[in-house]
Amino acid sequence: MRSLRAIRAVPLLLLVALPVAAAPPKRPKVDREAMREAIDSSGESEDFASPASYAHFLVSRRYHHAGNHRAAVDELRLAIATDEGNPYLLTQLGEEYARLGDLAKAEAELRKAVEASPPYYPAHVMMGRVLLEAGKYPRAKMHLRRAITLKPREPEAYLVLAQLHLEQRQSDDAVKVVEELATALPGEASGYRRLGLALAERGDKARAQKLLERAVERDPGDVDVRVALARLYEAAGRAADAEESLAQALEHDPDNREVLLSAGRIALKLGSATRARAYFDRLLSLTDDPELTVRVAFAFLASRETSAAAEVLDMARRAGRSNEPRISYYAGLVHERRRNFAAAATAYAEVPESSELFEEVRVRLAACLSRSGQHAKALALYEAALADKADDASLRVQYARALERNGARERAVATLKEALARTPSSDLYEALAATLHRSGRGVEGLTILREASSRQPRDETLLYTLGAAYEQQGDSDSALAQMRAVLALKGDHAAAMNFAGYLLAQRRKDLPEAERLVLRALELRPDTGAFLDSLGWVYFQRGEYQRAVEALERASLLEPDEPVILEHLGDAYREVSRPEDAASAWRRAVEVLVADPEAADPPTQRLQLERKLKKLSTEPAGR
């Protein structure tokens, strides 16, 4: 007997529900369970009273499968006209009315079927479904129990009864029903399977896990159950069990793309890039779908495996999928994040002007060209972009920086001053002060910022920028005072808290206050690499080197290519007698600075790191 329940937002037992719309549905995938149900129910049919009755019945089934349930009702009425009281036809008619949403007529026809043939199992099951849909739970339960008594080895009535208990939020009773089914049919998995999946949807994870584990014991090849179990294991912090469940699913369905993707993601979570690559390589060998390529790359990025993410995207580009703009766009983003600006520029250049991504890509391409020394091309792109967005302050800032890289510092300063005269903004003031500082005119930059702040004393961004400028000029007292002014204006300014805490740590003054400020900043913005670096540096200055290592390792995980964090981490490793780790961190920082000299803080950072490495190589073992 087929299901009649109207489709809900989250179908509790995943019972077969055919559409109510009149339009012909798309051809569905083969549902073996529904097929078995149909075959079983075909044996329930009774003899038809006449060839005309049978002919009308056949036409009704054609309408039924086309989704035209109103026409199916009309044909069944004609069939019953010459075969009155046929429980099979009455049950079919009840189902069609139910699919039309007319539960009262459905119930009336099913009552006739039950009265005409009290031992007719399908009528009791269908009546149970209709009454369940109508919210008439006691009567629904009565008919379903009658059906179970009639055919204790048929699963359907048990499953609908379990669903009834779920509707009434009686999960324990639902579990008892599927246990009854398991006793009646040893080895039957459907009860455990369907109730387990339903409970998982409802968030009842403990019960769902137990039921699904029983289901998979009875049907080891049920991929859907193994995937659901993997999700439950992962949510419970059992990532290894989750991966094992997915691996077993792949034994039965080795080409399942979603399972391969999930297994790779969990392998990364467990720290095994090698196993993840095996899953992902298999996945990508099955398809050239750009969406899956992007999802694999994002899985690597989420685990901070940026090199692997770049490799996946570059392979897709080499395989001829670069005509999909998103692949080139994401490849550019990853290479840019890794500070491989030339490679990023090459990827960005593949995005055509016709793409909706082009406007953003043009600016990113210009930045990468500028940072890789291709100044003329970069400036031409910036100028084209500014022709479209003349008042875009961010674009003006980037253009000025590109001019500066090309040696045109005065033009850069003039560009920023012109933009400020037209549309003043904190970003433009900050960029102008930074440009002047790099030109050896830091005092002039400070003067401009002080004047701007006096005109806008409640602009926290300007106040923060002025504090940062003081620190660049070596005036840490004024910088600290400025950050306190920001916090007086906006008490939850996390960046100002972190800045003040780091300044105090650098000066080795009031370290408890420094720690309090940084911890408060982390409360507001957890998992911020710069803030964790500040916390690690507070511990380092306090002499708590192991705590410093722990905080700085977390910071490095979040910002794996940040030279300041890497330098601090190397310093902390050295103090806990881990010279090889110290050297590794410092070397990585040097590699970043070779690729991106602008990342240095201070400008002499690379030289400092090389001195540290040289000194470390001459120190006695066990230092």
Residue 178, domain member (yes or no): yes
Residue 13, domain member (yes or no): yes
Residue 287, domain member (yes or no): no
Using DSSP, state whether 9 is helix, strand or coil. coil
Instruction: Using only the alpha carbons of the chain, give its radius of gyration.
Output: 35
Of 202, 225, 252, the residue at which a domain comes to its end is 202
How many distinct structural domains can be found in the chain? 2
Please choose, from the candidates 412, 411, 322, 336, the residue with its C-alpha nearest in 3D space to the C-alpha of residue 369: 336
pLDDT at 23 exceeding the cut of 70: no
- Give pTM, 2 decimals: 0.73
Angstrom distance (rounded) from CA 293 to CA 284? 7
Contacts of 419 (CB under 8 A, 6+ apart): 393, 396, 428
pLDDT at 41 exceeding the cut of 70: no
Residue 245, domain member (yes or no): no
Of 165, 186, 202, the residue at which a domain comes to its end is 202
For residue 1, what is the domain's CATH number?
1.25.40.10
Residue 143, domain member (yes or no): yes
Residue 336, domain member (yes or no): no
Q: Residue 85 is which amino acid? A: G
CA atoms within 13 A on the CB side of 535: 25
Other CB atoms within 10 Å distance of the CB of residue 97: 25
- Tens of pLDDT along 56-107? 999 999 999 999 999 999 999 999 998 899 999 999 999 999 999 999 999 9
Instruction: For residue 6, name the pLDDT band (cuts at 50, 70, 90).
Output: very low
Domain boundaries, position 531: 513-618
Structure tokens at 464: 């923060």
Angstrom distance (rounded) from CA 458 to CA 157? 71
Residue 269, domain member (yes or no): no
pLDDT at 582 exceeding the cut of 90: yes
Of 177, 202, 227, the residue at which a domain comes to its end is 202
Is 247 exposed, middle or buried, given 0-12, 13-18 or 19+ CB atoms closer than 10 A? middle
Comparison of pLDDT for 34 and 62, the residue scoring more = 62
pLDDT at 159 (0 to 100): 95
Residue 464, domain member (yes or no): no
pLDDT at 546 (0 to 100): 97
Q: What is the DSSP letter of 236?
A: T
pLDDT at 38 exceeding the cut of 90: no
Is the distance from CB of 599 to CB of 563 less than 8 angstroms?
yes
- Tens of pLDDT along 114-171? 999 999 999 999 999 999 999 999 999 999 999 999 999 999 999 999 999 999 999 9
Instruction: For residue 319, name the pLDDT band (cuts at 50, 70, 90).
Output: confident
DSSP, residue by residue, 387-433 = HH-TT-HHHHHHHHHHHHHTT-HHHHHHHHHHHHHHS--HHHHHHHH
Is the distance from CB of 161 to CB of 177 less than 8 angstroms?
yes
